[in-house]
């Protein structure tokens, strides 16, 4: 239905949106509003819905937007809310009001900064290479499950503040089980940061962490974390409240030795948040040693089962010194009381029956498959074959990848533009392409990307 609505909108638009016959546009707006039902004010929800449609090309540059009255009727909201949404978009520079004529999407408006939620809301695609996730659990040895045993707990209520004892033992003991790695980062940001604080990160770095720091009111500042001199200079210049590192880079797949970062942070009495979500996925050699070995009292380590088992489990963990772990556990209690007991027990069953070795070997084959397919179909694109991780970090010559990502989606492929991974919105000539999907799907995606590149505006 959404695809039909999109096509009807594009065929009938003729650079104008707002006439009654454009029922397809109304369908798209209402669908985006439903997907954005996330606690925002109605005006911001509606502005976000229109912004999403512009990002994916359902609103063409120069298109006339509906009047406030028509937009209110389309969205089922008040006229004041519609006016607020249009004012927000005009303030962002995405549209402009013309006296006596209406509101228009600007011809020259740069697309708004890309966001992962925007990508996830953008609708179904033939192949989604935007998310660096395990596509399905088909690689796992699955246990026979006794449902009654899964639901049976000594306490009866199923709430264990730190997590299920069996799973915690498998993860190393002194950990706090979280609802995935992202929640672990969010909790650490809430505990370690205050509004106005600075966080020292690499560039590029994981976009989900940047979003968590923003939610905490902090500002990320970038430095070359592989260069000890650059790290010392950044610590002296910015006086950060936290250093965020990745054991295996997302999006780059690099796995550098960052012990010097831990030494500098320890000497400066700075906490570190080390993201080891991808640490099990190193294909050449061993993963870097945990930074907690060098800075044991000031390092919070975040991990997850989503990359080696399956993202749908939503099980991760945090490890830290006892005082820090107590503060993190209190924040977890405030957030959602505890991670679901059934997910934790399923995770424990899977951990006991599966090792990462076979999946790691399969991912290495998929990495090489995607690298070969891109080299053959798009020789002008360039990348280094990564040592680890789940994605290729690809450079597109002369391209604005925020715009190209929207164009690629219209060709059926989801990709993540490079600006998602920079504190300063850099890397607009880069894409992150996941190689986790099966080879046949990777081939379809590359063929569609080649066509999108050939027909790019």
pLDDT in tens, 397-410: 999 999 999 899 88
- C-alpha 244 chain-centroid distance: 16
pLDDT in tens, 323-334: 999 999 999 999
* pLDDT exceeds cutoff 50 at 21: no
* pLDDT exceeds cutoff 90 at 177: yes
Q: Please provide residue 196's backbone torsions phi and psi, each rounded to the nearest 5 degrees.
A: 95, -15
- CATH architecture for segment(s) 116-138+356-455: Alpha-Beta Complex (3.90)
3-state secondary structure at position 456: coil
* pLDDT exceeds cutoff 90 at 163: yes
Write down the pTM of the prediction.
0.74
The whole-angstrom separation of Cα 432 and Cα 405 is 10
* pLDDT exceeds cutoff 60 at 9: no
Q: How much is the average pLDDT of 163-191?
A: 95
* pLDDT exceeds cutoff 50 at 228: yes
In a 10 Å sphere around its CB, with 0-12 CB exposed, 13-18 middle and 19+ buried, how is residue 39 labelled?
Answer: exposed
The whole-angstrom separation of Cα 116 and Cα 127 is 16
pLDDT in tens, 323-367: 999 999 999 999 988 898 888 988 998 899 888 899 999 999 999
3-state secondary structure at position 436: coil
Q: Where are the domains of the chain?
A: 16-105, 116-138+356-455, 147-353
Domain 147-353 listed as CATH 3.30.230.10: no
**Whole-number pLDDT of residue 6:** 32
**Whole-number pLDDT of residue 409:** 87
**Whole-number pLDDT of residue 34:** 67
**Whole-number pLDDT of residue 171:** 95
Indicate the average pLDDT of the chain: 86
The whole-angstrom separation of Cα 96 and Cα 190 is 38
**Tokens 């390092």 sit on residue:** 299
* pLDDT exceeds cutoff 80 at 119: no
Q: How much is the average pLDDT of 18-34?
A: 60
- CATH architecture for segment(s) 16-105: Orthogonal Bundle (1.10)
């Amino acid at each position: 239905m959404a695809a039909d609505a999109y096509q009807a909108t594009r065929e009938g638009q003729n650079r104008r949106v707002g006439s009654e016959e454009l029922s397809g546009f109304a369908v798209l707006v209402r669908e985006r509003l439903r997907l954005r039902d996330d606690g925002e004010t109605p005006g911001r929800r509606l502005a976000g819905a229109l912004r999403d449609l512009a990002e994916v090309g359902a609103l063409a540059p120069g298109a006339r937007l509906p009047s406030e009255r028509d937009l209110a009727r389309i969205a089922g909201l008040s006229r004041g809310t519609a006016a607020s949404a249009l004012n927000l978009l005009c303030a962002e520079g995405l549209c402009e009001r013309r006296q006596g004529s209406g509101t228009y999407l600007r011809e020259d408006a740069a697309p708004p900064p890309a966001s992962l939620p925007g990508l996830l809301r953008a609708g179904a695609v033939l192949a989604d290479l935007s998310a660096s996730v395990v596509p399905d659990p088909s690689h796992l040895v699955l246990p026979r499950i006794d449902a009654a045993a899964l639901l049976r707990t000594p306490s009866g209520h199923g709430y264990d503040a730190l997590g299920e004892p069996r799973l915690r033992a498998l993860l190393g003991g002194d950990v706090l089980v979280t609802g995935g790695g992202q929640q672990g980062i969010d909790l650490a940001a809430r505990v370690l940061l205050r509004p106005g604080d600075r966080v020292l990160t690499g560039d590029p770095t994981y976009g989900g962490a940047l979003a968590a720091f923003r939610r905490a009111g902090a500002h990320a500042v970038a430095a070359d974390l592989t260069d000890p001199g650059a790290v010392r200079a950044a610590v002296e210049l910015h006086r950060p409240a936290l250093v965020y590192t990745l054991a295996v880079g997302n999006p780059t797949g690099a796995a550098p030795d960052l012990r010097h970062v831990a030494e500098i942070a320890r000497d400066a009495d700075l906490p570190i948040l080390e993201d080891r979500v991808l640490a099990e996925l190193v294909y050449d050699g061993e993963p870097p040693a945990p930074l907690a070995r060098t800075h044991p009292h000031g390092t919070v380590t975040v991990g997850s089962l989503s990359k080696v088992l399956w993202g749908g489990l939503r099980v991760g963990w945090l490890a830290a010194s006892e005082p820090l772990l107590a503060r993190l556990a209190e924040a977890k209690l405030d957030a959602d009381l505890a991670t679901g007991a059934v997910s934790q027990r399923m995770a424990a069953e899977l951990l006991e029956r599966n090792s990462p070795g076979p999946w790691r070997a399969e991912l290495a084959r998929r990495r090489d498959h995607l690298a070969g397919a891109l080299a053959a179909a798009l020789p002008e694109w360039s990348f280094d074959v990564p040592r680890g991780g789940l994605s290729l970090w690809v450079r597109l010559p002369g391209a604005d990848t925020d715009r190209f990502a929207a164009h690629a989606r219209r060709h059926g492929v989801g990709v993540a533009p490079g600006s998602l991974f920079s504190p300063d919105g850099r890397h607009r000539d880069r894409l992150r392409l996941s190689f986790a999907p099966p080879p046949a799907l990777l081939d379809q995606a590359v063929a569609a990307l080649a066509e999108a590149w050939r027909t790019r505006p």
